[in-house]
């Protein structure tokens, strides 16, 4: 169970780092979107949550499963508190 709580904390910390590095500081997200078919849409990092939850169906190690479940919930908590519960939005820059 401790892996679950460590996962939640890690997910929240990862979200703050991702927003600072990829979105605010280096604008990696903007450069990445230019080369994909997602130009008209903004894929939020909370989209990671359903992907991880689907992957958890195939992981047999309980400790890893608990950590990843907590990690994805941590991302969801941070993103929901700051931006709301959104996964994909229309891109305003295009």
> In total, how many domains does the chain have?
1
Q: What is the pTM of this model?
A: 0.71
Helices and strands counted in the chain (H then E): 4, 2
Domain limits for position 65: 2-90
Residue 20 and residue 12: Cα distance in Å, rounded? 13
Give the residues across from 88 on adjacent strands.
Answer: 43
Per residue in 45-87, pLDDT tens? 677 788 888 888 898 888 988 898 898 888 888 877 877 777 7
Per residue in 12-52, pLDDT tens? 898 888 777 766 655 655 555 555 566 677 777 677 788 88
């Amino acid at each position: 169970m401790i892996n679950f709580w460590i996962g939640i904390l890690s997910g929240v910390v990862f979200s703050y780092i991702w927003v600072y590095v990829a979105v605010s500081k280096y604008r990696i997200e903007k450069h990445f979107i230019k080369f994909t078919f997602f130009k008209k849409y903004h894929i939020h990092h909370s989209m990671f949550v359903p992907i991880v939850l689907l992957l958890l169906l195939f992981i047999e190690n309980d400790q890893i499963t608990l950590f990843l479940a907590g990690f994805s919930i941590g991302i969801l908590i941070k993103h929901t508190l700051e931006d709301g519960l959104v996964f994909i939005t229309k891109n305003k820059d295009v």
